[in-house]
Structure 1
């Protein structure tokens, strides 16, 4: 029942803000199709990073294999590394396909950023992992009754990531949250490259710093939740 309200609300928030930005722009927004397609494709990186971690964990729980998995010599660190590598491989396939499809359908090259695409992708993917490990930690601690977070968790931050619109178009309170969200600086940087051909280096540095903080904190949180759950018995999660 939660989904019946959550997804319409998120779509209205995101596309409503995007529409308001386009309507209230004092000048014609150049490369509007490029702006929208770039945001869409690169948000997939964040989503893929989070999705692979949380759904991989849930699949082990659905198959009642979680206890068996961690009674083998496999350590939790190796499992974490494995899902991260798997996420990278699937992300490359997904983004390559999406980029080609966007080019064929709309003649838009979302990879026009050159070498800047590498830090952009790395930061987005690391933030996706961060959210993934936080959600996975909550699932490990509280069980499958909160498994909906595996699909909905990352989208809670989508309005504050400024995917299709500048942070300045958000309400003041939302701008504060956006400035603490690493992805907002990445998408702002992408728009800067699209509109002016230059990159806001200060914003990129802020994104790097925030992403590292989120990533380290998320790993620590997941390990804490996993160890606590292991003490009470992983079998209760299956």
Structure 2
């Protein structure tokens, strides 16, 4: 009597589907594990959730106001073709100033150098002054070539604003530093999960900063918020000069006064957050 040839379990046809199911199940579990990890990370970091909803909402509000203004003021661009380009350049001063400050601070966190600075003789105020100077350098490097390109391509020179340009530049730069201080203070409190706020926060005030349209186009309740920001008086002052109304001292003083208040507040919040993070040893844990 001949015996049937020996067959291993893996070679039997009836066992093949079973191993396929197991292999597919393991693959799904690994995919699910990675997905679950990111879902937990998202749930623990509200800035990440905010970022997903942020850009579509801001773009819709900002361009909605621009469209509404242009529909009711069709001769706006014909009267002052350089207003929009000048507004873009001034807005970039604010954006670059804030981003230059925040990125200089983030680079200390990414390189894990913040702990070394904390135990060095460097004082927090001295650290902030160096960040502000770096922000100014970054802003000048970024904005000056753009101003010459505006002259080359569009024959629009922001330097036609004259001496008020220096006042506008300083006010927008101080406002950028204020936002940078608040962003850095938030990162010290919640960690690098909030680093995206360095790019998001500045655009939160864009719709009510009257960059491309006057404050009067906003709803009444938003006009009140707009005049509570240092940015709206700057852009209104810029338009007044380009429309031949001259330099509005009241708008400049309005912006300067708000800047001094907000900058002092931002400085205090950052120093408080820095002191708490240093006392609790959080500076060595940021980035882990």
**TM class, shorter-chain normalised?**
over 0.9
Change (3 A) 1:30 1:212: farther
- Counterpart CA distance in 2 for 1:33 and 1:27 is 10
- Counterpart CA distance in 2 for 1:87 and 1:131 is 12
Asked if residue 151 in structure 1 is aligned to residue 199 in structure 2, the reply is yes
| Structure having greater relative contact order (Cα 8 Å, sep ≥ 6) | 1
Q: Deviations over 1:190-230 (max 9, x none)?
A: 00111124122211111111011011111111101111111
Q: Give the equivalent residue in structure 2 for 1:39.
A: 87
Contact 2:97/2:138 (CA < 8 Å) preserved in 1? no
Q: Give the equivalent residue in structure 1 for 2:14.
A: none
- Counterpart CA distance in 2 for 1:104 and 1:29 is 19
Contact 2:105/2:131 (CA < 8 Å) preserved in 1? no
Larger Rg: 2
Q: Deviations over 1:123-161 (max 9, x none)?
A: 000000011101111111111111110111111111111
Q: Give the equivalent residue in structure 2 for 1:236.
A: 285
1:75 to 111, 118, 123: 123
Contact 1:52/1:87 (CA < 8 Å) preserved in 2? yes
1:138 to 186, 197, 214: 186
Change (3 A) 1:40 1:28: closer
In structure 2, the residue corresponding to 1:181 is in which secondary structure? coil
TM-score (norm 1): 0.94
Contact 1:30/1:195 (CA < 8 Å) preserved in 2? no
Residue 5 of structure 1 and its aligned partner are, at CA, apart by 3.4
- Counterpart CA distance in 2 for 1:6 and 1:135 is 16
Q: Give the equivalent residue in structure 2 for 1:213.
A: 261
Asked if residue 111 in structure 1 is aligned to residue 159 in structure 2, the reply is yes
Larger deviation: 194-203 or 28-37?
A: 28-37
Change (3 A) 1:205 1:196: same
- Counterpart CA distance in 1 for 2:101 and 2:144 is 20
Asked if residue 48 in structure 1 is aligned to residue 113 in structure 2, the reply is no
Change (3 A) 1:192 1:30: farther
Change (3 A) 1:147 1:187: same
Runs of at least 5 residues in structure 2 that lack an aligned partner in the other structure: 1-48
Residue 31 of structure 1 and its aligned partner are, at CA, apart by 4.3
Q: CA RMSD in A?
A: 1.6
- Counterpart CA distance in 2 for 1:189 and 1:28 is 16
In structure 1, the residue corresponding to 2:159 is in which secondary structure? coil
- Counterpart CA distance in 2 for 1:52 and 1:93 is 11
Contact 1:49/1:87 (CA < 8 Å) preserved in 2? yes
TM-score (norm 2): 0.79
Larger deviation: 71-80 or 110-119?
A: 71-80
Residue 12 of structure 1 and its aligned partner are, at CA, apart by 2.2
Runs of at least 5 residues in structure 1 that lack an aligned partner in the other structure: none
- Counterpart CA distance in 1 for 2:76 and 2:95 is 30
Asked if residue 95 in structure 1 is aligned to residue 143 in structure 2, the reply is yes
